[in-house]
Chains A and B, each alone.
Chain A
């Protein structure tokens, strides 16, 4: 039990270090074209957030209470609507103002 808990934090830490080091290294060295680096930053961020949820907050589909998973799913939907909708409106406005 305790060994399992320790393992979880150590695995999470190592994965987080790797997923942090890759984008910082690319930005420091400009080893790829900037647009490619942006994709890597975005992918590493999403993966690292999943790593934190899984190994630090211990979210999973068996022991985490159903209500907690529902709450996080609802939050994701809210954020998608509000953030996505705002960007949609503001980018559209920006485009029309430039016409």
Chain B
């Protein structure tokens, strides 16, 4: 937008800034599409939640402590990613790498808890094939978990790029979009604990 106004003082180079804004908008449109997918999965869950087909309901299956721990891990990881973004803007490479690593560990802890919960439910005969409620549950929560797993791989890739290439303009631009993705997933999780776990345990 300010591509030919080179006199404007900015911490970005003008050309890179324009490409950055365009890519940020493109990624934002992707996230909005993802929001529609999650919205429809939430809707499906809301309609199917009562269809337990004689099987267990959420009250018997969910653990409030597990959900609280998962929530805490994801919320803290969103904040540590924010610190990585700040370090990236300040040009502090070791700090970016440390915060990204911490974010990765927290996200991996979240995925570990989720897989453990899923395996426990399947072992107890409450897999996705048990009832409409459980199909909707595994689809919704599993889609979110898949997104977080992809985000973890992306964090590793970006850590590698920060380590090898430094905080060049393309790398910080990609880090910015990874940040949008990671914060977006935390928003989707707010929906999951508010629609799935808390009402299920009430």
- Chain A residues within CB distance 8 Å of chain B: 2, 5-6, 8-10, 12-13, 16-17, 20, 23-24, 27-28, 34, 37-38, 41-42, 44-45, 48-49, 52-53, 56-57, 65, 67-68, 71-72, 74-75, 78-79, 82-83, 86-87, 90
Contact = CB atoms under 8 A, between A and B. Distances in A.
Contacts of A72: 32
Interface residues on B, range: 35 or more
Interface of B: 21, 24-25, 28-29, 32, 35-36, 39-40, 42-43, 46-47, 64, 67-68, 71, 75-76, 78-79, 82-83, 85-86, 89-90, 180, 183-184, 186-187, 190-191, 193-195, 198-199, 201-202
A23 B161 CA distance: 40
A94 to B, nearest CB: 9
Contacts of A82: 36, 39-40, 43
Contacts of B21: 65
Given A45-B191, A48-B190, A52-B183, 16 more contacts: A2-B89, A2-B90, A13-B75, A16-B75, A23-B198, A45-B190, A45-B195, A68-B28, A71-B29, A75-B32, A75-B36, A78-B36, A82-B39, A83-B40, A83-B42, A83-B43
